[in-house]
Amino acid sequence: MKTLIQKDLRENLKVALIGLLIFSLLLMQAYGSCASMLANALRGNWSGQVNSLQPLLSQSLLVPAAFFCALFGAALGWLQTRNEAHRDLWAFLIHRPLTRTEIFWGKTVAGLCLYVFGAGLPVLVLILVVRQPGHVAAPFEWEMTVPLVTIFLTGIAYYFAGLLTGLRQARWWVSRSFGLGPAIVASFGTFALPDFWMVYVLLLIVVVILATAAWGAYQSGGWYLGQPVAGKLALIISLAVGCAIVLLAGVGLTSGLLIQPFVKTSYEYSYYQMTREGEVYKVTMRDNETAEIVDLDGHPLMDPKTGQRMDRKAFQMLTAYGGTVITSLDRPLPHRNLIEDSGRFFNLLNITDKTLWYLDRHGKLVGYDGRSRKFIGTLEGHGFNGVVAADQFLLHPGGNYYYSYYNSYTDVPRKMLVSAKTVYQVDFKERSVRPVFTLTNDDEIGGYVANEVATDGNQVKKLLLTTRRTVQLLDSEGRSLLELPYQPGFAKYPQVELTYLPSTNLLPTYAVWFFPDGELNQRAHWTMPIQVRWIGPDQAITKTAELPTLQTDGTESWSSKLMPALLLPPLLHMELNRKMVSAWNLLNYAVAAMLAAIAWQLVRRHNASVKAGLGWTLFVFVLGIPGLLTLLVVQEWPVRETCPECQKPRAVDREDCEHCAATFAPPEKNGTEIFAPLVKT
Amino acid sequence: MNDDSVIRTRGLTKYFGRKAAVYELDLDVPHGCVFAFLGRNGSGKTTTIRMLMGLLAPTRGTGTILGQNIRALTPEIRARIGYLTEEHQLYGWMKVKDCGEFQSKFFPKWNSKIFNGVIGHFGLKPAARVKDLSRGERAGLCLALTLAQEPELLMLDDPGLGLDPVARRALVESMIYLTRKSDRTIFFSSHHLSDVERVADYVAVFDRSILRACCPLEKFQDSVQQVRLRFPGAPPALPQIPGLLQAIRTDNELRVTCVGYNGATESILRTLSPLELEPVPLGLEDAFISYLGERGEKTFILSELEAKA
């Protein structure tokens, strides 16, 4: 096997070298774009994704890397088999005292070594460069390498898919590439699954399936028949996924080009909005146009100037504004997938005097010199490079994850940051941290947001924060402007909105909204109301209201129901409809049953066993059209010819007729046969 | 049925689409012989060899090679079989000596002397790259790679293809050398009947996917016979003759080629009252061409041809 590995390494080294070159250039280009992002940031004219400053997390690196690893892996696998596609060269390879499994593993080991060389080496070099102080002016942690390493590993799935594509013999030439389906699913998983362990589990499953399918193809020279059972199963799964993707793409295109332009779909949603007088109105939007603005009794809001119904533009002039806090106490982070996850490592807070200040995920303010790109120190509760362990700053201001991901940079010399107990005034210019407010009891801060509020013509910075027990509003010096109990509690109502209402007698008034948790509310069938409190100048609650949750009402056309009912597998359709019995589900079952019957007919007609027939029938019933497509793509149908005995069509791959058990006739004699015993003299 | 068979097939059949490339092949190849597998292009020779080598799954039927099912050849059995493919494909980037080194790592009985001897015989430079070799040189290299394995059974798919007469003679000499060792069997397909005549013990002839002849070489030659009949004028219509392959009518002559010519055949021909009836000796090539050529009667009577024109 060693010799075979050496042969394959030598044979495909050129491909790996080309891959290495292309990938290195790609990574260098992405690294360079991160460097120019930094230069722009230092010039003060930058806004963009925070993670662009760390190449390992930058989408401008991860997305091209994902494409490259997929293409390179698939090309390497495909070329490794296509080089020996000529039947005589294939025979030269196969006819040697090795099992086909040994030959397969020999080639695979070589292929994977070349993949690691072509795609892994540039990744490793990039990680080492980025890790080296002075190269990237952003925090580095080993965990940041996970997205890129995952993308690199996904290429292995493509490698096996490429092997399978190169090997597979198929009646429909295009269907050879359907084996790429599981690898494409792994790629989507890399970007969409909520946690990396899930990605790795998916990747492991996909690699095992594709490797088994490729191994099976090696056993039979690429044909379905003649493969071991494991190979057949893996091939069926791989091609089923490929068929489903092709079907989805086909339906998407058909729907987009042929159906959607002619079918009108309507979409409607409503929300509440409060005027500066503290009145609540329900605004309903239909197809992105304002359909109506009504009060809570359902009366339309009239424009006093025109006497007509008020339009949205005029209504906006009347509405009050405020700030929203999501209390993230006792809650896991909302997203941890590849794209969203990159933002959880750090958040760029400020650039002052060419120093970039990041709030890292450990709650520390870390500074990097923009010119030398080196770490310069931390700003903590005890000042610059404080030696005493300080409070950790809370990471996601307002609990809104988006802000840690996208950063619009403004050169603000001071900023308020919050730890679990304390509100700090951070001065980046002076590199100082000053506590302005501290919780004195055993309470804990759960979320905060800083707002610029216009009060009597002045812009005043205020901080809205929620704790386990209270909702508080502070001014920039930490003085309490409002404090009220957190009722009905953050566990069920994590989102709090404070609406600033115009002052009366120079004393401000507010309205506080408590929004129920979306998931809990859905489970309660949207019965949890939105709770609103109006706060008077003396901080007393003057009024309360419970507003019903407004559900999105998407009215879908019959075509948007019909297509899934016809095309989706029953299991998926049922999951989407969330009802066992409905008219569309019944139609879906009927279609699946019809397809299963077709599958049974096809398989039995071509002489498969009852066991195989039942297996395929069940498979097609469960998977629907993708299942039937898979059957047509996978199965090799034997030719049928008329039996001279019973005149029925019989399969030529049987030793006798399946109808009358007549054997095949020996070749017809024409009187010129010359046969004699072969006895060596 | 021969218990000493190296290759045995029963009802071996292969379909490509609706076409049967090999149909119901029953074959027994005895141990220690040189077995020639003949037939026109597309008659099923290569398909049969590829099935026997376990490279192509039969549509139905069974087969064994060195006692093992052709659908599941083990590495041990493969080590005992030398296989030379039809188009002499090798890795173009390898050098001649690399090919030898590569193969030597796999085959336990590898004989470097044979390898070097054969490549020397074909005038191949060890440092030459395969992609730079001519077709004949590549055939020579493939032969060297096959022979150096010292196989018990040698499967050669048209080994003379692309070889010049000198190289072909070298190949034949190699085959004769190999069969000197009595435990060797050579199974080869070829279109070069002079080579077949020189080395083969037995021949099997394929005609349009069907095995029509399988016998000792001499038997084949003896079975295909030609007689010339002279007439005073245009030959009369030919009656039904068993085993008729060809009948060529000229102005006053009729040449009849048939299988199994005997007294009964002669009696039928005598009913035509020829002036003269004499046998015409046929070489293997003529016999083979007659056997696989167009069947039936052909007319070359000048007056009739002119009339048609």
CB contact under 8 A, A674 and B78: no
Tokens encoding A112: 């994977």
d(CA A301, CA A308): 9
Average pLDDT over residues B170-175: 75
Average pLDDT over residues A478-489: 89
CB contact under 8 A, A97 and B78: yes
pLDDT of B285 reads 85
Q: Is the pLDDT assigned to residue A456 strictly greater than 60?
A: no
Domain ranges of chain A: 2-258, 557-651
d(CA A170, CA A175): 7
d(CA B63, CA A266): 68
Distances from the Cα of B207 to the Cα of A189, B43, B53, angstroms: 57, 6, 21
Task: Report the DSSP pairing between strands A375-380 and A365-369.
Answer: antiparallel
Nearest alpha carbon to residue A225 among A180, A182, A170, A166: A170
Scanning A44-139, the segments in alpha helix (DSSP H) are 59-82, 87-94, 100-115, 121-131
Q: Is the pLDDT assigned to residue B91 strictly greater than 60?
A: yes
Q: Is the pLDDT assigned to residue A333 strictly greater than 60?
A: no
pLDDT level of residue B178 (50, 70, 90 thresholds): low
pLDDT of A194 reads 79
Q: Is the pLDDT assigned to residue B300 strictly greater than 80?
A: no
N-to-C CA span, chain B: 55
Helix, strand, or coil (residue A76) = helix
Average pLDDT over residues A165-181: 88
Is B57 an interface residue toward A (CB < 8 Å)? yes
What values do phi and psi take at B211, rounded to 5? -75, 120
Decide which of B109 and A567 is more confident: B109
Nearest alpha carbon to residue B51 among A357, A91, A510: A91
pLDDT per position as a tens digit, A70-99? 999 999 999 999 888 889 999 999 999 999
Average pLDDT over residues A506-512: 80
Return the half-sphere exposure (C-beta side, CA atoms, 13 A cut-off) of residue B304. Answer: 11
Portion of chain A with pLDDT greater than 90, in percent: 39
pLDDT of A264 reads 64
pLDDT of A396 reads 56
Return the half-sphere exposure (C-beta side, CA atoms, 13 A cut-off) of residue A676. Answer: 16
Longest dimension (CA), chain B: 72
pLDDT of A407 reads 46
Contact list in A for residue B242 (CB cut-off 8 A) is 671
Q: Give the lowest-confidence range in A117-126, A218-227, A442-451, A516-525.
A: A442-451
Q: Is the pLDDT assigned to residue A261 strictly greater than 90?
A: no
Q: Is the pLDDT assigned to residue B249 strictly greater than 90?
A: no
Task: Report the DSSP pairing between strands B185-189 and B34-39.
Answer: parallel
Q: pTM to 2 decimals? A: 0.84
Is B152 an interface residue toward A (CB < 8 Å)? no
Among the partner residues A10, A223, A676, nearest to B215 by beta-carbon distance: A676
pLDDT per position as a tens digit, A12-49? 999 999 999 999 999 999 999 888 888 888 887 666 67
Is the CB of residue A496 less than 8 Å from the CB of residue A451?
no
What values do phi and psi take at B145, rounded to 5? -65, -30
Average pLDDT over residues B55-69: 94
pLDDT of A6 reads 94
- How far A519 CA sits from the closest chain B CA (Å)? 58
Amino acid at A276: R
Average pLDDT, chain B: 87
For the residues of A310-347, what is the DSSP string, one character each?
PPHHHHHTTB--EEEEE--TT---S--SHHHHGGGSEE
User: Among all residues of chain B, which has the CA nearest to that of A225?
Assistant: B57
pLDDT level of residue B1 (50, 70, 90 thresholds): very low
Total CB pairs under 8 A between chain A and B: 139
Tokens encoding A590: 């009927």
Contacts 24+ apart (CB under 8 A), A143-148: A143/A345, A144/A54, A144/A56, A144/A57, A144/A342, A144/A345, A145/A56, A146/A196, A147/A56, A147/A57, A147/A62, A147/A338, A147/A341, A147/A342, A148/A56, A148/A61, A148/A62, A148/A65, A148/A123
pLDDT level of residue A406 (50, 70, 90 thresholds): very low
Portion of chain A with pLDDT greater than 70, in percent: 87
pLDDT level of residue B308 (50, 70, 90 thresholds): low
CB contact under 8 A, B85 and A88: yes
Among the partner residues B83, B106, B243, nearest to A671 by beta-carbon distance: B243
pLDDT of A395 reads 64
pLDDT level of residue A506 (50, 70, 90 thresholds): low
pLDDT level of residue A505 (50, 70, 90 thresholds): low
Average pLDDT over residues A466-486: 90
Scanning B22-95, the segments in alpha helix (DSSP H) are 45-52, 75-79
pLDDT level of residue A615 (50, 70, 90 thresholds): very high
Contacts 24+ apart (CB under 8 A), A435-442: A435/A381, A435/A478, A436/A474, A436/A476, A436/A477, A436/A478, A437/A474, A437/A478, A437/A480, A439/A467
User: Among all residues of chain B, which has the CA nearest to that of A656?
Assistant: B60
Q: Give the lowest-confidence range in A4-8, A653-657, B7-11, B93-97.
A: A653-657
pLDDT level of residue A564 (50, 70, 90 thresholds): confident
- How far B221 CA sits from the closest chain A CA (Å)? 10
User: CB count, 10 Å around CB of B4?
Assistant: 13
CB contact under 8 A, A678 and B2: yes
Amino acid at A442: D
Decide which of A645 and A386 is more confident: A645
Tokens encoding B264: 């009964």
Q: Is the pLDDT assigned to residue A154 strictly greater than 90?
A: yes
User: Among all residues of chain A, which has the CA nearest to that of B185?
Assistant: A680
Is the CB of residue A477 less than 8 Å from the CB of residue A505?
no
DSSP type of residue A173: G
Domain ranges of chain B: 5-208, 221-308
User: Among all residues of chain A, which has the CA nearest to that of B57?
Assistant: A226
- How far A3 CA sits from the closest chain B CA (Å)? 7
Residue A54 CA to its chain's centroid (Å): 21
What values do phi and psi take at A254, rounded to 5? -60, -45
Assigned CATH for B5-208: 3.40.50.300
d(CA B85, CA B76): 20
d(CA A577, CA A580): 8
Secondary element (H or E) of residue A253:
helix A229-254
Decide which of A394 and A197 is more confident: A197
* CB contact residues (below 8 A), chain B span 81-110, against chain A: 81, 83, 85-91, 93, 102-103, 105-108
pLDDT of A46 reads 63
Average pLDDT, chain A: 85
CB contact under 8 A, B75 and A90: no
Max mean pLDDT range (A133-137, A351-355, B181-185, B287-291): A133-137
Nearest alpha carbon to residue A165 among A7, A157, A230, B57: A157
Q: Is the pLDDT assigned to residue B283 strictly greater than 60?
A: yes
Among the partner residues A88, A639, A664, nearest to B24 by beta-carbon distance: A664
Among the partner residues B108, B216, B242, nearest to A676 by beta-carbon distance: B216
pLDDT level of residue A408 (50, 70, 90 thresholds): very low
pLDDT per position as a tens digit, A206-227? 999 999 999 999 999 899 888 9
Residue for token digits 């533009």? A313
pLDDT of B55 reads 93
pLDDT level of residue A282 (50, 70, 90 thresholds): very high
pLDDT per position as a tens digit, A626-650? 899 999 999 888 888 888 889 988 8
Q: Is the pLDDT assigned to residue B198 strictly greater than 90?
A: no
How deeply is A297 buried, as exposed, middle or buried, from its count of CB atoms within 10 A (0-12, 13-18, 19+)? exposed
User: Among all residues of chain B, which has the CA nearest to that of A93?
Assistant: B90
Tokens encoding A188: 């989507």
Is B205 an interface residue toward A (CB < 8 Å)? yes
Contact list in B for residue A94 (CB cut-off 8 A) is 55
Is A92 an interface residue toward B (CB < 8 Å)? yes
Decide which of A397 and A621 is more confident: A621
CB contact under 8 A, B24 and A666: yes
Decide which of A453 and B203 is more confident: B203
Residue A415 CA to its chain's centroid (Å): 33
User: Residues A635, A641, A643, CA angle at the centre, nearest 5°?
Assistant: 130
